[in-house]
């Protein structure tokens, strides 16, 4: 049985499935009431299909994340606790556009636990020909360190754990909040925050963004480098350009937690000076959330962050500067944050965790499209008690969304849907 609700006259899908999953819901963009955005001519309609694998129905999961490519490959990652309460990292992959999934695999070494929490969880990225890298943070030599495992066959098998930063963290430092991107030549760049422990002590001079490159698909890494000009920065995001460029966005511009951007034209070996994208828009406590970054056309893309106006979207272009006027993306929502961005055909998809203003009892993963014309679609609301939302582009007009849906006991269940233009 398929459920479709239209609270606030926005298309909505909610509640954990009870074998109704995999039903196809075509959610036309509706004229919105109660504060939701009114669609204009040409705004998107949406075909939504739940593709949650059945084995996740019984898994209490956290830190949902998803990766996909244009060849039908999908990777789900999540953190689940063993009976003794220790969190560990799991992955399940599909090679047929999430129609079926292979049995889950545990990626950490089993001897250490995986710190969990929104913005702290695992991340994954597909490259060409089935290359896949997953990164996370786990204790090493007494302090959290970024760890990675790589696959050359779409996630069917993985190599040994590698350490993008090389040496273990020292001097009270900790490493985490990793982000990954594959370059067009098949090399993978990992970036992360070094000095989490120092930041907790408000010693921002010891907090920096570092990065390293792997030319063998994530099996080994070149010596790490520090992103110049980003000392005192945190929460990196990374995107790769069509000619081997690399862009890194982060919080912590010249005067606080503003979003900033640095671009490399040599694959990440060197970076031009960083640019503060929105001077003065540190957003207070929102500075604890990282930006989202997308390279969507030849010379740039979009950056989104939570700032003083809520979630803000800004087009950018090389050499890392604003390419237009920023715009608020969270209308009709309260407490919107943790933005995600992916390409969706010639449109852009943005997702945020938020409360619909028309029904503050719900917490949803809200998704909408920005058309090339500049028109917004209505919000599509996923879940009723959602957290840990993620998006993954799958080439063309296909994408995937995932989130953690809390049940009546507050335990989380991972949910996954495929989003396509009908």
**Residue 248 tokens, joined:** 């890194």
- The pLDDT, as a whole number, for residue 233 is 76
Region 268-293 average pLDDT: 82
Please tell me the predicted confidence (pLDDT) of residue 231. Answer: 61
pLDDT of residue 185: 97
Strongest mean pLDDT among 26-40, 43-57, 160-174, 337-351: 337-351
Over the chain, what is the mean pLDDT?
84
- pLDDT of 5 > 50? The answer is no
Mean pLDDT of 46-66: 94
Would you kindly state where each structural domain of the chain is located, as residue ranges?
A: 7-420
Give 377-397 pLDDT, tens digit per residue.
999 999 999 988 999 999 999
Q: Is 37 left (phi over 0), alpha (psi -120 to 50) or beta?
A: beta
Beta strand pairing status for 386-393 and 398-406? Answer: antiparallel
Q: What pLDDT sits at residue 115?
A: 67
> What was the pLDDT predicted at 35?
33
Q: What is the topology classification, in CATH, of domain 7-420?
A: Neuraminidase (2.120.10)
User: Strand 123-126 to strand 132-140: parallel, antiparallel, or no bridges (unpaired)?
Assistant: antiparallel
Most confident range (mean pLDDT) of 14-18, 120-124, 180-184 is: 180-184
Residue with the bigger pLDDT between 116 and 70: it is 70
- pLDDT tens digits for range 185-239: 999 999 999 885 444 444 545 678 999 999 999 999 999 999 976 666 778 999 9
pLDDT-wise least confident of 197-206, 288-297, 320-329? 197-206
Distance from the Cα of residue 410 to its chain's centroid: 23
Interval 45-64 mean pLDDT: 93
- Say whether pLDDT at 20 is over 60: no
**Which range among 26-35, 73-82, 150-159 shows the weakest confidence by mean pLDDT?**
26-35
- Give 252's contacts (C-beta < 8 A, 6+ positions apart): 204, 207, 230, 232, 233, 234, 235, 258, 260, 287
Q: Which residues contact 3 (CB under 8 A, 6 or more apart)?
A: 13, 14, 15, 20
* pLDDT tier at 281, thresholds 50, 70, 90: confident
The percent of residues above 70 in pLDDT, for the chain, comes to: 82
Residue 396 gets the label, from left (phi > 0), alpha (psi -120 to 50) or beta, of left
State pLDDT tens for residues 238-269.
Answer: 999 999 999 999 988 555 688 999 999 999 99
- Residue 2: what pLDDT? 31
Using CB atoms within 10 Å of the CB of residue 119, give its burial: 0 to 12 exposed, 13 to 18 middle, 19+ buried.
Answer: middle
- Reduced to 3 DSSP states, what percent helix, strand and coil does the chain have, rounded to the nearest 5? 5, 45, 50
Residue 173: which pLDDT band, with cuts at 50, 70 and 90? confident
The pLDDT assigned to 111 comes to 73
pLDDT tens digits, residue range 393-410? 999 999 999 999 997 776
């Amino acid at each position: 049985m398929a459920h479709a609700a239209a609270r606030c006259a926005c298309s909505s899908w909610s509640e954990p499935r009870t074998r109704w999953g995999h039903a196809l819901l075509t959610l036309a963009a509706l004229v919105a009431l109660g504060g939701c955005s009114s669609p204009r001519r040409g705004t998107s309609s949406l075909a939504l299909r739940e593709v949650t694998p059945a084995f996740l129905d019984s898994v209490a999961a956290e830190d949902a994340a998803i990766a996909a490519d244009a060849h039908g490959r999908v990777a789900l990652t999540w953190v689940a606790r063993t009976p003794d309460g220790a969190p560990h990292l799991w992955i399940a992959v599909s090679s047929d556009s999430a129609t079926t999934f292979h049995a889950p695999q545990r990626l950490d070494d089993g001897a250490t636990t995986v710190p969990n929490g929104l913005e702290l969880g695992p991340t994954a990225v597909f490259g060409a020909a089935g290359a896949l890298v997953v990164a996370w943070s786990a204790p090493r030599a007494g302090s959290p360190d970024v760890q990675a495992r790589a696959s050359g066959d779409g996630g069917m098998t993985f190599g040994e754990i590698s350490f993008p930063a090389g040496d273990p963290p020292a001097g009270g430092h900790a490493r985490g909040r990793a982000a990954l991107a594959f370059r067009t030549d098949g090399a993978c760049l990992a970036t992360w925050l070094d000095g989490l422990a120092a930041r907790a002590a408000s010693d921002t001079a010891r907090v920096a963004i570092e990065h390293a490159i792997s030319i063998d698909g994530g099996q080994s890494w070149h010596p790490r480098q520090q992103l110049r000009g980003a000392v005192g920065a945190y929460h990196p995001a990374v995107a790769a350009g069509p000619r081997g460029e690399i862009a890194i966005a982060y919080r912590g511009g010249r005067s606080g937690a503003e979003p900033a951007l640095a671009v490399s034209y040599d694959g990440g070996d060197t970076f031009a000076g960083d640019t503060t994208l929105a001077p003065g828009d540190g957003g207070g406590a929102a500075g604890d959330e990282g930006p989202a970054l997308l390279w969507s056309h030849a010379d740039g893309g979009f950056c989104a962050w939570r700032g003083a106006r809520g979630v803000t979207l800004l087009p950018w272009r090389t050499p890392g500067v604003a390419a237009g006027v920023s715009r608020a993306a969270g209308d009709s929502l309260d407490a919107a944050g943790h933005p995600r961005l992916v390409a969706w055909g010639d449109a852009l998809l943005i997702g945020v965790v938020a409360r619909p203003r028309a029904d503050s009892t719900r917490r949803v993963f809200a998704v909408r499209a920005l058309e090339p014309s500049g028109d917004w679609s209505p919000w599509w609301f996923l879940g009723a008690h959602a957290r840990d939302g993620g998006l993954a582009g799958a080439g063309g007009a296909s994408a995937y969304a995932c989130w953690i849906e809390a049940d009546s006991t507050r335990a989380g269940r991972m949910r996954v849907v495929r989003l396509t233009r009908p």
